[in-house]
Chain A
Amino acid sequence: MILPQSAILSAPMNAESQLVMRARAGDPAAREELAQEHRRAAYFLALQLLGNPDDALDVAQDAMLRLFMSLNRFDSRRPVRPWLYQIVRNRVVDLYRRRKVRAHDSLDALYEDGTPRHDVPDESIDVERDALRSELRARIWTALGQLTHAQREILALRDYQDLAYSEIAATLSIPIGTVMSRLHSARKALRRILIADPDFVVETY
């Protein structure tokens, strides 16, 4: 069921809202807790959009500082995550503009031995299956770099960050109905890139 955006606004005062209000009032413990809770997500989204750990860290650090600098202007009834993601994506776009690089250039540059530097290997006992899955993850990661910015963005938010459609709509400032069509189009584009390789086989779950 797709949650309407109004549901976000009418949500009762929850633990996060209280945390934001405490942080806004200057409570150091609340500020630290808020930072610890969200900085990983900021870094991972930046990494998924940029494909480069160093750039991602720069963007995430900057985004976290901006988040705290603008805490007073934030409506504490709303969830923090979509707001933080908006800051991250704006910083990512600024970085692209400043450097005049295409997104997938930096993604391609990640690969030295065919494996993403940041991909932690599986630790289960089915080595062959794990190797296939690891290869699939690496191929998907490479293929992401060939998508458009909008396609990569929506895949990052849904398939990597696991945001609900309503949260994606709030983050991207698009109608919820558009989320599904854009997401499907991005998934099909990703699939097209992957199956273009004759050696590639998707191991269905």
Chain B
Amino acid sequence: MASCTRSFDEEMLSGYLDHALPQSETRKIRIHLEDCESCRALYNELKALREAARNTNFKEPDVEVWPELPKTRFGFFSRSLGWTLVVAWLVVVAAYALWRFFADTGDPLEIFLVLGLPGGLVLLFLSVLIDRLRELKTDRYRGVQR
């Protein structure tokens, strides 16, 4: 078998296979494949694998398994509004409680009743955040762009 003398990157074979190259490159590779047995063998194998994948038939799930679509935009608006209200409430209550605390005008029970829930939520959020940051170091999928 004669050694390969191609003057293009091997990955261009995939571009040629997918008809994704400009005409001049396509012509260059077609001519090379006529002469080069090793590139032709690789190309034919890649083509066979692609055709096999392309011809794989998959059974479709039954129609009734699909969930009913939200019929109105109420779900979207109610969720957005709900989150906005919750966050606004937390901010206002926390600010009020801190003001009472530093102004030294509230009794401890009142401060606990006002600050307990948002304070607890903030601590839970921080603990989840720290866990996530720790996991990020060993995340196999962190290279996946979202």
Binding site for B on A (CB under 8 A): 1-2, 26, 28, 31-32, 35, 39-40, 43-44, 47, 53, 57, 60-61, 64-65, 68-69, 72, 86, 89-90, 93, 96-97, 117-120, 133, 136-137, 140-141, 149-150, 155, 158-160, 162, 164-165, 172-174, 180-181, 183-185, 187-188, 190-191, 194, 202-205
Is the C-beta of B59 less than 8 angstroms from some C-beta in chain A? yes
CA A64 to CA B69, docked complex, whole Å = 8
Which residues of B line the A interface, CB within 8 A?
9-15, 18, 20-22, 44-61, 65-67, 69-73, 75-76, 79, 135, 139-141, 143-146
Looking at chain B's contact residues, is the secondary structure mostly helix, strand, loop, or mixed?
loop
Residues of A within 8 A of B66 (CB): 35, 39, 61, 64
A188: chain B residues at CB < 8 Å are 46
A residues near B69, Cβ cutoff 8 Å: 31-32, 35, 64-65, 68
The answer to whether A26 touches B144, judged by C-beta atoms less than 8 angstroms apart, is no
A-B contact pairs, 11 of them (CB 8 A): A2-B20, A26-B73, A65-B70, A133-B52, A155-B53, A158-B18, A184-B10, A185-B11, A191-B45, A202-B44, A202-B49
Q: Which residues of B contact A205 (CB under 8 A)?
A: 44, 47-48, 51
Q: Are B144 and A120 in contact (CB under 8 A)?
A: no
- Shortest Cβ distance from A44 into B: residue: B58
Of the candidates B10, B21, B58, B73, the one whose C-beta lies within 8 Å of that of A72 is B73
In the bound complex, residues from chain A placing their C-beta under 8 Å from that of B72 are 26
Cα A59 to Cα B86 with chains together (Å): 28
Query: Contacts of A158 on B, CB cut-off 8 Å?
Result: 18
Whether the pair B59, A159 counts as a contact (CB closer than 8 A) is no
Task: List 8 tightest A-B contacts by C-beta distance, closest first.
Answer: A184-B11, A120-B57, A184-B14, A159-B53, A204-B44, A173-B145, A136-B52, A118-B59
